[in-house]
Amino acid sequence: MASKVRTMPILIFRKVATLKLSTNEARMLAFQMMLRMSKFAFVYD
């Protein structure tokens, strides 16, 4: 268990680092997902 707890922050840090390298792409993907979710929400409403 201790080894897993120690490795978790490293994995999170790697994910954050990769996101920082492509923040614009991540924002565009998040924006597209928001638009798609809102479209589905309006359809089901």
Q: What is the pLDDT of residues 1-45, one digit of tens each?
A: 566 666 777 777 777 777 676 777 778 888 888 888 777 666 655
* Cα separation, 29 vs 37, whole angstroms: 12
Q: Give the model's pLDDT for residue 41.
A: 65
**Ranges of each domain in the chain:** 2-44
Q: How far apart are CA 9 and CA 6, in angstroms?
A: 7
**Cβ contact 26:19 at 8 Å:** yes
pTM of whole model > 0.75?
no
**What 3-state DSSP class applies to 45?**
coil
- The 3-state DSSP class for residue 1 equals coil
User: CA torsion 18→28→30→16, rounded to 10°?
Assistant: 10
